[in-house]
Structure 1
Amino acid sequence: MNPRDMNKWVGQVVEIIYEDKSGNLTQRRIEVHGCRGELLRATCLATGSPRVFRAAGILAWNRLKANHAG
């Protein structure tokens, strides 16, 4: 994924498929707060925890409508 594409997600709720550095895959709904370089700062909606995701680890994404949050 191109990190420049992440800027349009700020303030949005998106669902992602993410591969971490160990190769573990997860599917998450997140609210995007910002991005800097290759990193995306967000809140995981399932846990309410702040998270940071690497652009290279985001394998798929889909913007969700606001009424799907939570």
Structure 2
Amino acid sequence: MMKMSIGQTIEIIYLDKAGKITQRKIEVNGIRDGRIRATCLTTGAPRVFLAASVLSWQPAQERRHA
């Protein structure tokens, strides 16, 4: 099982409180009490995600410039 860490950029599939499933790329700022504090890299906004609502995650793929 992978372990996310502070400062890591990850991609998540998340079930929000309205029941909508979204995919986001985030930078993890902190993990505590079942909550993940992060910066959403799409909007640049700080967000808090419930760890129990993260359906899947993986380290973000870096974009390669040609």
Name the TM-score, length of structure 1 as normaliser. Answer: 0.79
SS of the residue aligned with 1:9?
A: coil
Give the alignment of 1:1-40 within 5 angstroms: 8-40=4-36
Cα 1:12–1:40, aligned 2, differ >3 Å: closer, same or farther?
same
Residue identity over aligned pairs, in percent, reads 51
Cα deviation code 1:37-64 (max 9, x no counterpart): 1100000001000000001110000112
Number of equivalences? 64
Runs of 4+ in 1 over 4 A off after TM superposition: 65-68
CA contact (8 A) 1:13 1:66 kept: no
Q: How many angstroms apart in 1 are the aligned matches of 2:19 and 2:60?
A: 25
**Runs (5+) with no aligned partner, structure 1:** none
Residue type matched to 2:18 in 1? S
Residue type matched to 1:48 in 2? G
C-alpha displacement of 1:66:
5.4
C-alpha displacement of 1:67:
5.2
> Considering only aligned residues, what root-mean-square deviation do their CA atoms show, in Å?
2.2
